[in-house]
Each structure stands twice: as structure tokens, then as C-alpha cells.
Amino acid sequence: MALGNPRQNESVVRKKTNPESKGFYGTAGGEELWLRFAQAATSREFYASWLAIQCQILERVRCGLILIGPPDQGPFTPAGVWPDSGVDVTHLAATAEKALKERRGLLVRSDRFGRAEPAREDTYHIAYPVEIADKLYGAAVMEIEAAPNPVLQSAMRKLHWGAAWLEVMVRRQDAYLAGESEKRLHCVLDSVATVLEHDRFHQGAMAFVTQLATTLNCTRVSLGFTRGGEIKVQALSHSAGFGSKMNLLRAIGSAMDEALDQKTFIVYPLPEDAPPIAAIAHEALAGRTGSGLICTVPVIHKEKGIGAVMFERDPDMPFDEGTLELLKTIGAIAGPLLDTKRKEERSIWSKIWESLAQGIGKLTGPEHPGLKLAGAAALAILLFLIFATGDHRVGAPTVLEGIVQRVVTAPFDGYVAEAPARPGDVLKTGQLLCRLDDRDLHLERLKWSTQRNQLMKQHAEAMAKHERAQVMILQSRIDQADAEIRLLDEHIARSKIAAPFDGIVTSGDLSQSLGSPVERGQILFEIAPLQGYRVIVQVDERDIGYVAVGQKGELILPSLPGQILPLEISKITPVFTAKEGRNYFNVEARLEEASPGLRPGMEGVGKITIDRKRLFWIWAHESLEWIRLKLWTWLP
């Protein structure tokens, strides 16, 4: 942990202390402790030097311990022991734990067994919690020889005042770290803005590496992305073109591959405390280019390595911990943005090829077992469809009709008086369908009967007077009256409309139209016989070429779902019908087996068996024919 500017800390110490005061420093060697305290480069050095100074200032101190840990979380571990790390200070743990728990200063007497309890003689423990901004960072505890109460109270005050140095240094360190974080954040945002302000990938990549080289004082910054299983260098700082640097590019790409394969950033030369990392390619690159320091940051996106960024510096400018964190952040944020720009500029064929390669990689790689299982199942199904055969059948909507269908019409103009028959009624021959009102007919017949009687009397008188001409005229009028009477009798007889044969009423319902007028020739009922049906299969025009007379098939009706009716094609009508956006031909078929539940007008689905074909062809031939037709239409 860097603790700010050491010279600034030293100046503050010298300003607030008097080097000639032995009481303040504690001993003649106190000045060295203060310098070490002011110039501490790590947290351990800082806390250890502070503890040493406090133990010398308090006097009579036998040993001391300072515990530090994450604020308000812990665990709190020893950060410094006085007079040296070899001293056993375990007996101070109980007092330190009590100070941490109670968050207050303590002055307690100790015994040889390490238990702490209030007392006024022998050896004492003084402890004080390190609390900054209401957050507990740890505690300092010291063992001091027995002394009068004023001396002990003075020691407590000095420890309390000394704890303020910890707060000053921690706050200064927080401010320093905040400033460094702000600088790193600005650098990251600048790099991202540089990438986004260019529309083209190559321009954005060149600007990105050149800006990083300038900002981070690097001799060269390189950017590469994976292609064909290895990294290809895409941009070098301060180099618009690098066609003549193929050997250098291969060396840089190999070093990038080395970092990406291990999925860890590599700093070369490797630090002494670095974990085991292979850096052979980095060593070769450093020997080739003479680079002093090399740092390679892999670019990981969605747990997949997509590239790397390499930074090279002079030997006198090492990569510190903050700089390494900055480089990793830049690679993690700007790298995927540049990769997205690169992918967007590829051709459509490159994108298709990469998608296929990724799919094949998932199927053949060590991961995605579910995808492999699905691919194997799909392959098995495809092979089954290619080699297995099945019945090629043509399906179409089907309507059941009677072989004979009789239409019952109105014999004359009249009014409906009675209509007992309805659609679906099964009738016997001569059973009443409906009756027309015949009252006017009877009145008309009565009129003609009365007139005939009168004419008969006149005819007799003319015969008696031997008026031959009048007799002939009257005889003609009598014949006319007889014809009218016979016609009226026929109408009266036909006013009762009966079933012409045994059958079923398929249409016509006059039960709700009693008293309504009907005209002569108007269709009142349609009747079909109960025996003898024909099936009308509405075959689509695309499938009519497969259908031939004599082919077998099956019919399923929704009203008889559990029964399959066999049929045979008997006639193909060479005229198509357009209905509801489709063109079809009416193909007639006869049922080989009748069922008592059949009724004319039933609709269902019929399938005509054509021949044996491959299952793949059966399911795909319609789409293939549609594609063939479209290609033929588009081609010149």
C-alpha cells in the first residue's frame, strides 16, 4: 500500500516535532523511527513504525501489539509487534479483543495467565481502538509496568493522541487512493471515448493504442484479436501500416497467445513473488526487440478469450500495482468494444462462416453436452427420414353426399299452413313434409262448380229449344268449367307435399315460416336417400397430379372419430373450383363400407394413398416444389 508522498510526510513530521527533545522521541534513536514512519511505503511498515514510536513515547512499556483489519468486518490480525516480531504477545489478545468489542480505551491489570481484570498494581495493559469516521479499523494494546495513577493516565492520553496520527495517515491515504482512482477512471473513459468517436475499426484501434502509449508513457502498445485459433495483431501505436514488420508481429502475437491461453496478465520480467506462469514467448520478444518491461493483458468477454493488449516500457519505469489494475480495466472495457466494431465490419459471408464455426466448435468441443446430445438426436432423425419409407398420401377436405338428391319445390303460389318436417328428419315414402293453405282453392272450386251447374241448366234449355249454336257455346263453357275444377282438384291434392322416397331431409325448415308466401317453383326441401353415398374429396391443385382413378383411401368424420371408412376413387372432375383463396378439384369416391351413422352433408378429412416414398421427400416435397416454382419465375 503506497502511503502518499514520503517527502511530504517527512516535512509534516519535522514541522510538528523537535529533534532535540529526547522526551518526545523517547530515545536517541527516535529520529530514525520518525523518518521510517514518515517514509513508510507499505501498511505493515507504517503500523510497525507507529507502534515503535508509541511504545518509546509512553515509557515503561514491555511489549506492544497493533491489530488491523477490514473496517467493521475483520478479522483483525497483527500488523505490528514491539520490540520485535519474535516477542510472545499472546497474553495481550484478551485486552485487545475487549477493546475491539467495547470500542473504548482500557486500562486493566494483567496476571501471568493472560487474564485481564481491573487492578492497581503489578503489570498493566493499556488498549485503545483505532476508530476512524465511526468505522473500527483495529486496536493497539501495550503492556506497561506498574506505576502511579498519574503516570498511567498520562500514558492513556499519549496513546489517545498518538492514535490521531493513524487517522491522519489513513485519511491522507484514502485521499491519495481516491485521486489515483479518479486518474485511472479518467484514463479508462478517455480510452473508451477514443474507441467510440471513430466509426471504423482500424481508425478506432490506431487511436486507442496511440493514446494509451502517450498517456501511460509506453514505448509501444499493441492490440490483437483471435482469428483462426490464434491472435493476429491489428494495431501498433504510432504505426499506421506495419506490412514490413511481419516477424515482429508474429513475435507479439505469440506473446499475446501465451497470455490468452493462460487467461492471466503477464508482466515480464516476472516478479519474484509471481505464481508459476509460462513466459517463454515474452522472453523471446524481449530479446528480439530489447524491450525492458512487457505487460500483456488478455481480453476476456463472456468467459471467452477474444484478444489481448500488450504494453511495453523502458526498464526504469516499472508497472506498479495501480497501473496494472488500470491496464486490466482498460482491456476489460475497451477490448470488447473494439472487437464489436471489428465484427460489424466483416462481410456477410465471414459472419455466416464464423457462426457455423462456432456451432461446429460447440458440437465438437469438450463443453455443451446438452447441445451435443441434441445434435446427435437431430442427426439420427435426419438419417431416419432420408432412408426410411412411408405411404405418400394426399389429404384434403371431404364432403359426404347422397347418390340421388331430390329437390321438393312449391307446386303453386300459396301460403305455408303446416310444416312438420325439419332438416335431419328421417322420412318414409308419402310422409307429410308440409301443407300449403288450400282454402282459396276450395272456394275457387266451389265457384266453378256453381257456374257449371248454371251452364248445365242453360244447356238443357237450349237443347229443348233446338238452338244448336247456343248448345255448342254452352257445351264449350261446361268443358272449361270441368277443366278448371279438375285443375283445382289437382292443386288441392298437391297442397299436401309428401316425401317422394325413404330418405332424410338435408335442408329446408319452414316450421318458423308458417303463413309465409311461397312462389311456384321455389325450393322448399332437399331430400337424400339413406343408402348409397358418394364422397367428394376437394383435392388441391398442387396434388391433383398424384391422384388417379382406382386409388384407395380413408375417410375420417368428426361425428364418427373412432371409425375409419375405406374409399376408392371413382371419378376426377376436370374442372377446378376457387374457394376461400385456394383452388381445388372435386374428386368423387365411393365408400367400400357403409355405416348406419352416415348422413349426407357430413364433412371430414380424406387421405388418398398414392405410393411408397422416402419420409424426407414426403414432408419436404411441397416446400421443394414451391422453391422450384419461385426460381423458375425469377430466372430469365
What would the pLDDT profile of 419-436 be if each residue is shown by its tens digit?
888 887 787 888 888 888
- At 360-381, the pLDDT tens digits run 766 666 666 777 788 788 888 8
Task: Select from 188, 196, 234 the least CA-distant residue to 212.
Answer: 188
pTM for the structure as a whole: 0.44
**Quick one: cell of 259?**
497470455
Per cent of the chain over pLDDT 70 is: 88
Task: Output the pLDDT for position 5.
Answer: 42
**Quick one: cell of 356?**
457455423
- At 246-265, the pLDDT tens digits run 788 888 889 888 888 888 88
**Quick one: cell of 452?**
257449371
**Domain positions in the chain:** 6-178, 198-345, 406-525, 532-634
The helix or strand, by DSSP H or E, that contains position 607, with its residue range, turns out to be strand 603-614
Tell me the pairing of strands 560-579 and 582-591: antiparallel
Terminus-to-terminus CA distance in the chain, angstroms?
77
Q: Give yes or no for residue 16 having a pLDDT over 80.
A: no
What does DSSP assign to residue 600?
A: T
Q: What is the DSSP string of 228-295?
A: TTEEEEEEETTBS--TT-HHHHHHHHHHHHHHHHHTS-EEESPPTT--S---HHHHHHHHHH--SEEE
On the question of a common fold for 6-178 and 198-345, the answer reads: yes
**Quick one: cell of 361?**
466448435
Mean pLDDT of 519-538: 83
570: which residues sit within 8 A by CB, 6+ positions away? 534, 549, 588, 589, 590
Instruction: Name the CATH superfamily for 532-634.
Output: Efflux pump adaptor protein, beta barrel domain (2.40.30.170)
**Quick one: cell of 296?**
500483456
Task: Output the pLDDT for position 240.
Answer: 65
User: Which residue's C-alpha cell is 493516565?
Assistant: 153
Q: Give yes or no for residue 24 having a pLDDT over 60.
A: no
Is the pLDDT higher at 182 or at 60?
A: 60
Q: Which long-range contacts (CB under 8 A, 24 or more apart) does 27-30 make?
A: 27/56, 30/56
Class of domain 406-525: mainly beta
* Summary mean pLDDT of the chain: 80
Q: Are 144 and 135 in contact (CB under 8 A)?
A: no
Lowest mean pLDDT among 165-169, 315-319, 498-502: 165-169
Task: Select from 125, 126, 72 the least CA-distant residue to 101.
Answer: 72
Give per-residue burial for 498-524: e unless 16+ CB within 10 Å, then b: bbeeebbbbbbebeeeeeeebeeeeeb
Q: What is the DSSP string of 458-502?
A: HHHHHHHTT-HHHHHHHHHHHHHHHHHHHHHHHHHHHTEEE-SSS
Query: Domain 198-345 belongs to what architecture?
Result: 2-Layer Sandwich (3.30)
What secondary structure, in 3-state letters, does 65-112 show? EEEECCCCCCCCEEEEEECCCCCCCHHHHHHHHHHHHHCCCEEEEECC
- At 385-424, the pLDDT tens digits run 888 888 889 888 998 877 777 788 888 888 888 888 888 7
CATH classification for the domain delimited by 6-178, as one of 3.30.450.40, 3.40.50.720, 3.40.50.970, 3.40.50.150: 3.30.450.40
Sign for the pseudo-dihedral over CA of 52, 58, 61, 64: negative
Angstrom distance (rounded) from CA 432 to CA 415:
16
Q: Are 207 and 192 in contact (CB under 8 A)?
A: no
What secondary structure, in 3-state letters, does 547-563 show? CCCCCEEEEEECCEEEE
In the sheet that 496-498 helps form, which strands lie side by side, from edge to edge? 496-498, 432-436, 414-418, 517-518
What confidence tier does 151 reach under pLDDT thresholds 50, 70, 90? confident
Lowest mean pLDDT among 204-208, 361-365, 386-390, 576-580: 361-365
Task: Output the pLDDT for position 244.
Answer: 56
- At 58-104, the pLDDT tens digits run 878 888 888 888 887 878 888 888 888 778 888 888 888 888 888 88
57: left (phi over 0), alpha (psi -120 to 50) or beta: alpha
- At 584-599, the pLDDT tens digits run 888 988 888 777 777 7
Q: Are 121 and 108 in contact (CB under 8 A)?
A: no
What confidence tier does 161 reach under pLDDT thresholds 50, 70, 90? confident
